[in-house]
Amino acid sequence: MRWFLSVFVCLLLPGSLVAQAPVVRKPPQAPTGNEVPVEPPSQRPVDTGRDIETLVVQTRLVNIPLNVVDATGAPVGGLEKDQFEVREDGKLQKIAIFERESATPLSIVMAIDSSESLISYHRLERDAGKKFVKALLRPQDELALLDFAYTVREVVPFTNDAKKIDEGLGQLQNGDETALYEAIFLASDRLKDTNPAGGRRRVIVLISDGDNTKKGTIYTQALEQAQRVGAMVYSLIVVPIAADAGRNTGGEHALIQLSVDTGGKYFYVQDKRDLVEAFQHVSDDLRTQYLIGYYAPQRGADTSFRSIKLTLTDPSLAAKFNLRYRNGYYADAR
């Protein structure tokens, strides 16, 4: 998802002063036709007798998909570029790109929990997923399908063919464990290979109860990988029995925080019928996003995490509307 601009500034150092002989002016002569063209002094290269130093400054384009909603959660449109401010690590940045209702391409990984704990939801996962793909996918978009239980499996690689995705949704495999964080990590890794040109948005749509039962990849690794590729994580958190004493609320909170930090959103699915509605909310969310971009300088071999803060310049609007966006990026990410 990102562009680099190399700006080369050549610094010409002044040479030593040389004593000059008096200039003897000659009267103009008529051309003979055998003259060799002489380059005007202003166009001749200056030989300073020293090497030319080149200063290289790298910049990167940071794209930020943004959702603006009112107190009821309804999307707010019609805002202008000069009504926003963006800061990186507290420093004000110049907004270079601004789009309302961004039509930029989408690369989506749909990752479906196919473990036995959600076996009663598997049929609805397939049906709701098919409706989501049909409603959202445009010619410029692409989607890959993963399922995860004991292992993570790519069922369908990135494609724009809805028929292939439909077939893949009918081939989900059950398992007796849940490699949730590994699925998030690998979904992010797959998005890393997508072309970021044109401000392409990277999205993970995750369906799970939040219960990670397989050792290996941990939450912080999954979050970092998602942030490195600029993926927005939409978590559809299935809660089969809300009052269940064995319910993994810690896992739910982890998915909520993951969605918040990446600029995505989370939805609770407490009834099987809610899954279709949750998919529709994700689709609406992606269709009503703004896109803000700015050029951030690269500071050498910097690998740090840089924080992003977006605000509305009008205090009265800032009091009414909520902004949702990713909270930062890694300087060395691609």
Q: Where are the beta strands (DSSP E) in 70-151?
A: 84-88, 91-93, 95-99, 106-113, 142-148
Go through the chain and tell me how many residues it has.
Answer: 334
Q: Tell me the sheet residues that pair with 85.
A: 311
The phi and psi torsions of 5 (rounded to 5 degrees) equal: -125, 120
Per-residue pLDDT, 75: 94
pTM of the entire structure? 0.80
Single-letter residue type at 157: P
Give CA–CA dist 196/184, Å, rounded.
19
Q: What is the pLDDT of residue 298?
A: 75
Question: Mind listing the pLDDT tens digit of every residue in the chain (334 residues)?
Answer: 444 334 333 333 344 333 344 443 444 444 444 444 444 444 445 555 555 555 444 568 999 999 999 999 999 999 999 999 999 999 999 999 999 888 899 999 999 999 988 888 888 888 999 999 999 999 999 999 999 999 999 999 999 999 999 999 999 998 888 999 999 999 999 999 998 777 899 999 999 989 899 999 999 999 999 999 999 999 999 886 555 555 667 889 999 999 999 999 999 998 888 899 999 999 999 999 999 999 998 777 788 999 999 999 999 999 999 999 999 999 988 6
The confidence score (pLDDT) of residue 273 equals: 82
What's the CA gap between 169 and 163, in Å, rounded? Answer: 10
CATH placement of domain 106-287: 3.40.50.410
Q: Residue 66 pairs with which residues in a beta bridge?
A: 290
**H/E stretch holding 162:** helix 162-169
Q: Domain-by-domain residue ranges, the chain?
A: 55-101+290-330, 106-287
Q: Which CB contacts under 8 angstroms, 24+ apart, belong to 252-259?
A: 252/209, 252/210, 253/210, 254/210, 254/212, 254/219, 255/206, 255/208, 255/210, 257/223, 258/184, 258/219, 258/222, 258/223, 258/226, 258/233, 259/233, 259/234, 259/235
For residue 185, give the amino acid letter: F
d(CA 159, CA 108): 10
